[in-house]
Chain A
Amino acid sequence: MNTLASGWGLLAIILVCVATVAVGALGLRMSRTTSDFYVAGRVVTAGWNASAIGGEYLSAASFLGVAGIVYSLGTHMLWLPVGYTLGYLILLVLVAAPLRRSGAYTIPDFAEARLSSRRVRRIASVLVVGIGWLYLLPQFQGAGLALQTVTGASPAVGSLIVAVVVLVSVAAGGMRSITLVQAMQYWLKLAAISIPCFVLAWLWFRGGQPLPSLTDPGGPFAGALPAYPMREHPLYATYSTLLALCFGTMGLPHVLVRFYTNPDGPAARRTTVIVIALLGAFYLFPPVLGMLGRIYLPSLPAGTRADSVVLLLPSAVTPGTLGDLLSAILAGGAFAAFLSTASGLTVSVAGVIDQDLLSGAMNRRLGGDLPRTHSFRLASLVAILIPYAASWLAPGATLADTVGMAFAIAASTLGPLLILGVWWRRLSVTGAAAGLIVGGTLAMGATVATLFGVGRGTGGWIPVLLAQPAAWSMPIAFTTAVLVSLATPRSVPVNAARAMVRLHAPEEVTARVRPPAG
């Protein structure tokens, strides 16, 4: 890319970072008490909340990866953007309202409220932190790659920028500012992808170029994306990925937090409906960019990943200032995607580290004098530093693989815990713990084996099964939890009936059964 183009790109990235910190600071001025700091004072409306969920969810994989996949594999791959929204549909119909009614702020809170067990809570906390870190890792790596594509800077610079901006806005603003920041990021990302998309589509229409050839999996585009896990046994790999997306979304650390900020179950439902509309609208654009790429970029420069097709397309369609400008807008949007997903994850991971790991230890040591916000800030630092360091230690893993594995682990552990917890009264403490441990061990084992390249290049079933574990690890986790629960009826918590009423009866009932506060 030429100097002028990289100048525009750099400017867009700087603007996005400055806007993120500025809106974060605005939120800080508005958050006055500790409870505001944590849960946005519960004044967040459905529209804001839904924008925030969308902003947080649309990561780099969505912004760059989907277009790259449609570019290299054709419209066959339209199931992938739909799959990313599917998880919210499952979440909406199966658990949205009950989760809000549970009053849980994090998944460990839910585990404790439903099962009255500190042990299950502790296991869930470890899983939340692990999944969050695994999901944070590719955000740092992706930021490095994007900045490198746009400006030629070393990948280390991009990941450091994301780490610092996220740390500053999370530690300073807490939850309230993050809701504002995330909501803004959604609209920023939608504008950053839709405006260039409309301009490029109009130029294509006016230029009278032919329609792209849409389906040629064996054509020149195949293999342009070696990172994508659709290598062999594609049907198994696809089903496993879809299952992970469907049942993993609800178990992602940064999702449940947003349900607590809804005033009641029906509001949680309304929020989710808006989320699906917002995500669906966004996901219409990346496939269009991928298809335009097929016309204007019949081949990519050597050594370029298909993920960068979005950033290279504008200059191919219209070389010159307009192309540079559109590339810069897209680069800014991609950076917004890294920042928002990373902040959402950091808030959630830090919340769990603070609540379940740090506060207790620090209070014992300091006699409970430490203000709540201080330990949250310390937890934020820990939440960012470890995946940032890991992004240096494990540079070999590809972005799509790592994100897919975070979904697979969530679908094999926290997903079953939430579904069984909401729908099955006879879930026992021992059964829940066994399901989490078995599902977590299998899915994480497969992840570690894949990261270290077990069976790579052998071409058989083993690498495919390890790279996409959800299709077998999730059923095993469900079965374990059910069978162990049936075998240990005495460890069904005594207040299971009460917990089930709270989850499924409308708020008015629970409010009337509960004695007035204080």
Chain B
Amino acid sequence: MSSHNDISEERAARYIAVQNSQEFAELRKTFRKFVFPMTGLFLAWYFLYVILATYASDFMATKLFGNITVGLVLGLAQFATTFAITMIYARWADRVLDPAAAKLADHMERGNLQ
């Protein structure tokens, strides 16, 4: 029983070491610095579309060519931006987040956590 407690206490200590390490803090900061502004930005863009659709229906009904209106083009652009944002995030996560996480894992392994 006591050896079990030793193990779990050692585990807890190591978790706290990771949590307190600068590298882990930086990993989370990198993530927040990219993700939170991006979330805000794309929400603003969707909400702008809704404002236009509600209050600027004349503008949205402006015909660009034939029966193709500004509203239709902006509406389809919403589909396109959803895909674009998804791809941007996924590529960023592969390029920046995963390598940073792998480095943290490596440093933990060698015991030289910063």
Hey, which bits of chain A sit against chain B, CB under 8 A? Answer: 74-79, 82-83, 85-86, 89-90, 92-94, 210-215, 217, 234-235, 238-239, 242, 246, 266, 269-270, 273, 276-277, 280, 283-284, 287, 495, 497-498, 500-502, 504-506, 508-509, 512-515
Q: Which residues of A are found within 8 Å of B57, using beta-carbon distances? A: 76, 215, 217
> Beyond A79-B46, A512-B109, is A506–B12 a contact (Cβ under 8 Å)?
no
Contact check, B90 vs A269: say whether CB atoms are below 8 A apart.
yes
Min CB gap A57→B, angstroms: 15
Min CB gap B26→A, angstroms: 12
Q: In the complex, which of the residues B50, B67, B89, B105 contacts A92, with contact meaning CB atoms closer than 8 Å?
A: B89
Contact check, A214 vs B71: say whether CB atoms are below 8 A apart.
yes
Residue of A nearest to B72 (CB): A75
Contact check, B105 vs A509: say whether CB atoms are below 8 A apart.
yes
Contact check, A273 vs B86: say whether CB atoms are below 8 A apart.
yes
Classify the secondary structure of B's interface with A.
Answer: helix
Shortest Cβ-Cβ A-B pairs, 5 listed: A78-B75, A211-B67, A506-B101, A498-B15, A508-B105
Q: In the complex, which of the residues A214, A242, A514 contacts B46, with contact meaning CB atoms closer than 8 Å?
A: A242
Q: In the complex, which of the residues A79, A212, A497, A508 contacts B50, with contact meaning CB atoms closer than 8 Å?
A: A79
Question: A235–B49 Cα gap in the complex (Å)?
Answer: 11
Contact check, A90 vs B28: say whether CB atoms are below 8 A apart.
no
Question: A504–B105 Cα gap in the complex (Å)?
Answer: 12
Q: Which residues of B are found within 8 Å of A273, using beta-carbon distances? A: 86-87, 90
B interface, size bucket = 35 or more
Contact check, B18 vs A513: say whether CB atoms are below 8 A apart.
yes
Q: Which residues of A are found within 8 Å of B105, using beta-carbon distances? A: 505-506, 508-509, 512
> Beyond A235-B55, A238-B50, is A505–B69 a contact (Cβ under 8 Å)?
no
Contact check, B39 vs A94: say whether CB atoms are below 8 A apart.
yes
Q: Which residues of B are found within 8 Å of A75, using beta-carbon distances? A: 69, 71-72, 75
Contact check, A215 vs B60: say whether CB atoms are below 8 A apart.
yes
Contact check, A504 vs B108: say whether CB atoms are below 8 A apart.
no
Contact check, A93 vs B39: say whether CB atoms are below 8 A apart.
yes
30 A-B contact pairs sorted by A residue (CB < 8 Å): A75-B72, A76-B53, A78-B71, A78-B75, A79-B49, A79-B50, A79-B78, A82-B75, A82-B78, A82-B79, A212-B67, A214-B72, A235-B51, A235-B54, A238-B53, A266-B98, A495-B15, A497-B15, A497-B16, A497-B20, A501-B15, A504-B24, A504-B31, A505-B18, A506-B98, A506-B102, A508-B102, A509-B18, A512-B109, A515-B7
Question: A86–B78 Cα gap in the complex (Å)?
Answer: 10
